[in-house]
Amino acid sequence: MKTDAPLLLIGNGAVDTGALALVQPFARMVVAADGGADVAAALGVRVDAIIGDMDSVSAEALGHKTVPVIRVSEQDTTDFEKCLQRVDAPLVLALGFLGGRLDHELAALNALVKHAKTNVLLIGERDLVFLCPKRLEMALPKGTRVSLFPMGRAIGLRSDGLEYGLDGLVLAPDAGIGTSNRASAGRQVIEVADGPILVILPRRHISAAIDALELASKDT
């Protein structure tokens, strides 16, 4: 499925109305990951397609003949990944993948790294998370929490506008990490020469995150 605007992807986890209200102004198309179709229905959201192995969606949700169903039976990937492999959008705004079972949440974070060519913003009850591009430029208020978590060995780091600078550091899951940093100026720059790093922000800063990812896409 292809769209030239941000796409909302709804998973089978908890989605609060506050998160939905944050993302709806940005999304033009809605896709449900398997049982996410029932979550969407409960929230009163009409979906444009359902993608997954269909092991958790209800017969009622599948019964809407006007909604395309893309059934993917293989079990080597999660429903989240199945969706990322089959949508083409400048940005995927994903709800219902954070919180709940820890293994599901870790799998979703792992998918951000595996599908690095797709801009994905995961939104949870409190935070949002995305994979840091090679250069990230954000406009966050001073004091905003900016947590960085490496998903592998990350080198060639540089930063401006953070309380704790990253220049010359090496981050890795078994070494230094970058949680609980803070914005120290009105504009922040993070550069990563090599290695996957997740950026975690309070979810109220979704507009700044979207703007930053769009800017990064134009620079590549």
Q: Are residues 115 and 139 in the same domain?
A: no
Give me the amino acid identity at 133. P
pLDDT digits (tens, 9 = 90+) for 167-180: 999 999 999 999 99
CB atoms within 10 A of CB 175: 11
Q: Are residues 117 and 155 in the same domain?
A: no
Give me the chain's average pLDDT, please.
94
With H, G, I as helix, E, B as strand and everything else as coil, classify residue 117.
Answer: coil
CATH label of the domain that carries residue 190? 3.40.50.10240
111 within domain boundaries = yes
72 within domain boundaries = yes
219 has pLDDT over 80: no
Kindly write down the DSSP assignment for every residue of 57-115, as one continuous string: S-HHHHT-TTS-EEE---SSS-HHHHHHHH-B-S-EEEES-SSSSHHHHHHHHHHHHHT
d(CA 21, CA 61) in angstroms, rounded, equals 22
Beta bridge partners of 8: 30, 93
pLDDT band at 220, cuts 50/70/90?
low
Q: What is the pLDDT of residue 74?
A: 87
CB 181 within 8 A of CB 125: no
pLDDT digits (tens, 9 = 90+) for 49-78: 999 999 899 999 888 878 999 999 888 899
Domain count, the chain: 2
Q: What is the pLDDT of residue 115?
A: 95
CA–CA distances in Å: residue 168 to residues 153, 180, 191: 13, 18, 11
63 within domain boundaries = yes
130 within domain boundaries = no
| Domain final residue, candidates 72, 105, 125 | 125
Q: Are residues 22 and 101 in the same domain?
A: yes
Kindly write down the DSSP assignment for every residue of 23-61, as one continuous string: HTTT-SEEEEETTHHHHHHHHTPPPSEEEE--SSS-HHH
Distance of alpha carbon 11 from the chain centroid = 12
Containing structural domain, residue 175: 135-219
Q: Are residues 77 and 120 in the same domain?
A: yes
Q: What is the pLDDT of residue 88?
A: 95
Q: Are residues 101 and 151 in the same domain?
A: no
Beta bridge partners of 194: 155
pLDDT digits (tens, 9 = 90+) for 92-135: 999 999 988 899 999 999 999 999 999 999 999 999 999 999 99
Q: What is the pLDDT of residue 73?
A: 87
d(CA 45, CA 30) in angstroms, rounded, equals 8
Q: Are residues 15 and 92 in the same domain?
A: yes
